[in-house]
């Protein structure tokens, strides 16, 4: 073959190769160009979400009646609107504003409803996208701002220590139930922490093998959850002709035998001990009922916590307790109340002399600590309570 014909073959092969390469490059470019892009913004038509929500629950003739509102929002409409008004007035995040195009943003009702539904049902934020027309990240932001706002505006009132009037009422109820000087029952509730960091698991894990965060609180008969507190109530109750200068709580067996904790009797022997165990265990159920109602109202504290930040988890728990207490206050008149008129009239076994509070210095604090941990006083108080229960309820069938 001549050199000229060889050159022609090489040129033809080069043209074929160039054509193949060009076609491949074009196909790749076209594939990248025609590939569907991920949408960074979804037009949810948020105005429709507000209109539907208003029509369903807040219009003059809403689709769903107050019973359905109470069931789905966990509170009466009047209380819900009170919270909406307070947070919308005080917090800029919940104030509806227009954007640069003049379009209104999400309404306060949409943001509040998203937060309440997440707390009530314990579901992720995107569960309410179709109905409320807001995305998952926005729902989480609503929950975060809602919990912060509730703590800021209502925490001082609904997570308070008992006032003198509160203590008077608690002591009256305790005495009517056979426990003079009792201000409530105390216990712990464990909230599983699913996303607990591995390095912290040992600190938050107990017998169950799963990390949990603990809420310890005092509950009264009306299901109000108090901050746990110790101190002098200011009055000196008398039990079986013995005067005691400290309030006490009813507990289960996990608490030590201190003067401020009164446990049941595990294996009661004799009618007096049996009657005392029955009354103590029945009365101590107040705190377990309160925790049960709290978890029923807000499933977010019943299901495993999905947050990574324990500070946010703590705020959610405190927010649920505040809302729970607000609901109790709003609906307390409908509860079956214990008749305390006999004890309010001044005929109770409490001494009418109000003790003057001493200044809290080092010596006083050490004395109070010693008195709290006095097991002898615990035993004497328990024996006196057994006698008191028997005198009040010994021959009365439950």
Strand partners, 191: 213
pLDDT in tens, the chain (398 residues): 555 556 555 665 666 656 655 666 666 656 555 555 565 677 778 889 999 999 999 999 999 999 999 999 999 999 999 999 999 999 999 988 888 888 888 899 999 999 999 999 988 888 888 888 988 889 999 999 999 999 999 999 999 888 888 888 998 999 999 999 898 999 988 888 888 888 888 888 876 678 888 888 899 999 999 875 544 444 557 777 778 778 889 999 888 888 889 999 999 999 999 999 999 999 999 999 999 999 999 999 999 888 878 889 999 999 999 999 999 999 987 766 665 555 554 555 554 433 444 444 555 667 767 777 888 888 899 998 999 999 988 766 55
pTM: 0.80
Task: With residue 189 as reference, give the H or E element that holds it.
Answer: strand 182-192
Distances 237 to 57, 94, 174, 255, 284 between C-alpha atoms, Å: 50, 49, 11, 22, 19
CA atoms of 97 and 120, how far apart (whole Å)? 27
What pLDDT is recorded for position 15? 62
Cβ-based neighbours of 159, under 8 Å, separated by 6 or more: 227, 318, 321, 322, 325
Length of the chain: 398
What pLDDT is recorded for position 320? 95
> Which has the closest alpha carbon to 244: 384, 113, 110?
384
What pLDDT is recorded for position 31? 57
> Which has the closest alpha carbon to 146: 365, 388, 324, 312?
312
Helices 310-331 and 271-297 meet at what angle, rounded to 10? Answer: 110
CA atoms of 150 and 318, how far apart (whole Å)? 9
What pLDDT is recorded for position 352? 41
> Which has the closest alpha carbon to 79: 357, 298, 322, 389?
322
Burial of 166 (0-12, 13-18, 19+ CB in 10 A): middle
The string of DSSP codes covering 145-181 is: HHHHHHHHHHHHHHTPPPPHHHHHHHHHHHHHTT-TT
CA atoms of 267 and 194, how far apart (whole Å)? 38
What pLDDT is recorded for position 164? 86
- Where are the chain's structural domains? 46-157, 162-332+345-393
> Which has the closest alpha carbon to 276: 289, 263, 260?
263
């Amino acid at each position: 073959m001549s050199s000229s014909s060889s050159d022609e073959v090489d040129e033809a092969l080069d043209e074929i190769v160039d054509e193949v390469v060009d076609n491949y490059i074009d196909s790749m470019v076209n594939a990248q160009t025609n590939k569907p892009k991920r949408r960074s913004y979804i037009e949810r038509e948020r105005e429709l979400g507000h209109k539907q929500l208003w029509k369903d629950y807040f219009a003059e003739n809403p689709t769903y009646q107050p019973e359905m509102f109470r069931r789905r929002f966990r509170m009466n409409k009047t209380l819900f609107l009170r919270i909406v008004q307070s947070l919308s007035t005080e917090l800029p995040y919940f104030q509806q504003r227009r954007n640069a195009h003049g379009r209104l943003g999400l309404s306060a009702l949409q943001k509040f409803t998203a937060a309440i539904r997440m707390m009530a049902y314990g579901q992720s934020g995107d569960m309410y996208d179709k109905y409320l027309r807001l995305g998952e990240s926005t729902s989480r932001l609503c929950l975060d701002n809602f919990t912060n706002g509730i703590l800021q505006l209502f925490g001082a009132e609904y997570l308070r220590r008992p006032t003198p009037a509160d203590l008077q009422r608690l002591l009256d109820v305790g005495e009517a139930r056979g426990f003079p000087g009792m201000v409530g029952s105390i216990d712990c509730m464990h909230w599983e922490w699913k996303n607990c960091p591995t390095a912290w698991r040992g600190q938050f894990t107990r017998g169950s093998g799963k990390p949990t965060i603990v809420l310890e609180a005092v509950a009264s008969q009306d299901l109000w959850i108090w901050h746990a507190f110790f101190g002098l109530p200011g009055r000196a109750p008398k039990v079986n002709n013995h005067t005691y200068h400290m309030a006490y709580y009813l507990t289960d067996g996990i608490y030590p035998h201190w003067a401020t904790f009164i446990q049941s009797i595990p294996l009661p022997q004799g009618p007096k001990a049996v009657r005392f165990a029955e009354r103590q265990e029945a009365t101590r159920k107040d705190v377990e009922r309160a925790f049960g109602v709290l978890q029923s109202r807000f499933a977010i504290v019943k299901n495993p916590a999905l947050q990574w930040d324990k500070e946010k988890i703590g705020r959610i728990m405190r927010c649920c307790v505040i809302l729970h207490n607000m609901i109790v206050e709003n609906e307390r008149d409908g509860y079956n109340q214990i008749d305390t008129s006999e004890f309010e009239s001044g005929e109770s076994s409490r001494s009418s002399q109000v003790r003057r509070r001493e200044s809290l210095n080092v010596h006083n604090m050490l004395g109070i600590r010693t008195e709290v941990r006095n097991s002898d006083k615990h035993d004497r108080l328990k024996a006196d309570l057994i006698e008191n229960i028997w005198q009040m309820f010994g021959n009365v069938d439950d």
